[in-house]
């Protein structure tokens, strides 16, 4: 008589191992994709996460994915090119007038910053914060450049180290402050938004030359416009508006 029939044992790995291996493969592929992306955009990442949601079974529809967005395409190199365009434009305008000489200087700085130096001889009588009438054309030209683009403008007042003690100006702090504010108010009247501008007083404490000769002291008596460039400055629309304003 034959004995009881034995059940055949199924060969191979348990079924859960196959599911586990599939999930590990998908996870590996997912992280390899993440590693291969040089910059991940949020929309593409959400699309990728949604396509794998069913396979993983762990990403619910309410899951929030937060990553850093890619930086804007405008690079430092682009800002520097725009900075050079504006600098060249100002230098050409200054070069058209023989009377200006070194009264206006333009220096490009790193990070898209432009510095426009206006001498005391151009702007003010000695020891005064009242702008000369002769300075109006220069300020009007600067205003036409600044008005066609966004960007912050910090106006700095500087003096030499000779003391001043008057009822209006007890020290060089007050004199440099008054001069910076006078230029700010003048640019405001010429159409520059006051929300873009600020005024800073440095007195005698930020010299560009030693106060040892009359020439060097004259270099230290100045107002500087520190312009932080942005994307709009240097565009064709900007240059066209400058050309139009200069020809009028």
User: What is the 3-class SS of 167-201, one letter each residue?
Assistant: CCCCCHHHHHHHHHHHHHHHHHHCCCCHHHEEEEE
The model carries a pTM of 0.59
Flag the least confident range among 39-43, 104-108, 198-202.
Answer: 39-43
Spatial separation of the C-alpha atoms in residues 102 and 118, rounded to whole Å: 9
pLDDT, tens digit (0-9, with 9 covering 90-100), for 187-232: 999 999 999 999 999 999 999 999 999 999 999 999 999 988 665 5
Nearest in space to 192 (alpha carbons), one of 152, 234, 239, 137: 152
Half-sphere exposure of 111 (CA within 13 A, CB side): 5
pLDDT, tens digit (0-9, with 9 covering 90-100), for 123-161: 999 999 999 998 998 898 888 878 765 678 999 999 999
Average pLDDT, the chain: 74
List the CATH code of the domain at 76-247: 3.30.1330.60
- pLDDT given at position 114: 80
**153-158/197-203 β-pairing:** parallel
- pLDDT given at position 183: 97
Burial zone of 118 (CB within 10 Å; 0-12 exposed, 13-18 middle, 19+ buried): buried
Spatial separation of the C-alpha atoms in residues 116 and 21, rounded to whole Å: 67
Nearest in space to 57 (alpha carbons), one of 29, 23, 90: 23
- pLDDT given at position 56: 43
């Amino acid at each position: 008589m034959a004995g009881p029939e034995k059940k055949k044992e199924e060969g191979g790995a348990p079924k859960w191992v196959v599911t586990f291996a599939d999930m590990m493969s998908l996870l590996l592929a997912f992280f390899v994709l993440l590693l291969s992306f040089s910059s991940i955009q949020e929309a593409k990442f959400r699309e990728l996460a949604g396509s794998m949601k069913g396979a993983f079974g762990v990403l619910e529809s309410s899951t929030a994915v937060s990553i850093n967005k890619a930086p804007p395409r405008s690079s430092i190199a682009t800002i520097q090119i725009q900075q050079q365009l504006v600098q060249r434009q100002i230098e050409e305008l200054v070069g058209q007038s023989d009377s200006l000489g070194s009264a206006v200087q333009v220096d490009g700085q790193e990070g898209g910053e432009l510095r426009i130096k206006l001498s005391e001889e151009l702007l003010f009588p000695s020891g005064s914060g009242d702008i000369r009438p002769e300075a109006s054309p220069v300020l009007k030209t600067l205003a036409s450049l600044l008005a066609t683009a966004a960007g912050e403008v910090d106006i700095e007042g500087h003096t030499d180290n000779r003391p001043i003690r008057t009822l209006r100006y007890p020290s060089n702090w007050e004199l440099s402050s008054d001069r910076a504010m006078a230029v700010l108010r003048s640019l405001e009247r010429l159409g520059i938004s006051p929300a873009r501008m600020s005024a800073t007083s440095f007195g005698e404490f930020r010299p560009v030359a030693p106060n040892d000769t009359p020439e060097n002291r004259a270099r230290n008596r100045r107002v500087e416009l520190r312009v932080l460039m942005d994307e709009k400055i240097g565009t064709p629309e900007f240059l066209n508006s400058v050309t139009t304003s200069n020809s009028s």
